[in-house]
Amino acid sequence: MKDNIFLLPVILILFFAGCKKDITINFPADHNSKVFIEGMLYPGKVPAIFISTSNPFFSSKVTPQQVFARGAVVKITNGSSVDVLAPDSTYNKFRCRWEPFYRGTILAEHGKTYTLEVSYEGKTYTASTTINQKAVTIESIEYTPEFFDVYGGHDGVIIKITDIPGSQDYYRFQMNSMIDSSVKHAHVLDGFINTCVGANELFPVTDIGRIVFTDENADGQKITMSIEVTYEYSEGDNGWIMIQSLDKNSAEFYKDLDDQLQAIYNPFVEPVFINTKIPGALGVFGSAVLSDSVFFEYPQDHP
């Protein structure tokens, strides 16, 4: 009896290992492409609107240049003021690639309402945002070698602010820093080799937090944010940390993105549908107000 119990798992493994079946999947010949629009206005900065088109799941066209929606007519209006945006691009020295977008010429102003109008391939998409958020003050920044969230354990920073009372507020982390080609992305780019910059050349990167924090049930109270940083670091590396105060539409959209990421990584998390904030397209047109920046230096190497 003992020998039979031992042999049973082996027989089952051999049985299932021998089962193999080829399945042919027929994909639709025509792909119903969707337009994706992402634009955030910041007071004192000109608009930058990223517009792209979707491709079939197994398409090889995945770079920003390949999916860029060329030929779109992009306008941002504020009362009688009309800003016609033109195609532009910036070179991402971390990913070694050009990233095209539509750039405006009129600086966004706090307290004003802006309407985006995008005309592309016979269709027009519109959305509006009002820049009326209030900037918060960062009270403290503390390094932590480990904290835990739904993704597991992380290193990063702990930021404390006091919420401005009287309104529903949404916050997101931002850190601007200078890195070189030896720095790796903490999650998805471990195998990426940078070949477009010199070994000692520094270039700027912006780390935008994936989690949106809210003052729900904490209006006017102190809020503690545990932030997982994006880029690996060494002792003495530094940067400037800010907190973005987001409008409601942007906060809801980026929360959906983070919830969907959780569902991808964790099979026990309920799938999430991303709710677009631009009728007829995918994406969001919103605004954010930045806090004053605070200098931060890492006290130790990345764990």
Last residue of a domain, one of 88, 109, 130: 130
Give yes or no for residue 228 having a pLDDT over 50.
Answer: yes
Q: Domain ends where: 101, 130, 159?
A: 130
Both 146 and 252 in a single domain? yes
- 171, 290 contact by CB (below 8 A): no
In sequence order, the β-bridge partners of residue 43 are none
- Is the distance from CB of 245 to CB of 289 less than 8 angstroms? yes
What is the structure's pLDDT at 118? 98
In single-letter form, the type of residue at position 30 comes to D
Mean of pLDDT over the chain? 89
Task: Judge whether residue 56 has pLDDT over 90.
Answer: no
Whether 190 is covered by a domain: the verdict is: yes
Do residues 191 and 109 both lie within one domain?
Answer: no
- 212 within a domain of the structure (yes/no): yes
Task: Kindly tell me if the per-residue pLDDT of 17 is higher than 70.
Answer: no
Within-domain flag for 160 = yes
Amino acid symbol at 180:
D
The partner residues of 118 in beta bridges, in order of sequence, read 74, 125
Q: Are 195 and 159 in contact (CB under 8 A)?
A: no
119 and 198 co-located in one domain: no
Any domain includes 5? no
**Pair 243, 147 in one domain:** yes
* Residue ending a domain, choose from 130, 165, 190: 130
CB atoms within 10 A of CB 37: 26
pLDDT at 167: 93
Distance of CA 128 to the CA centre of its chain: 20
- pLDDT score of 212: 96
Q: Does 20 reside within a domain?
A: no
What CATH number corresponds to the domain at position 126? 2.60.40
In a domain, 39, yes or no: yes
Co-location of 91 and 148 in the same domain: no
Regarding predicted confidence, which is higher, 62 or 68?
68
Q: What is the phi-psi region of residue 152: left when phi exceeds 0, alpha when psi lies from -120 to 50, beta otherwise?
A: left
Q: How many Å separate Cα 146 from the centre of its chain?
A: 22
What is the span of the domain harbouring residue 59?
35-130
Query: What is the number of structural domains in the chain?
Result: 2
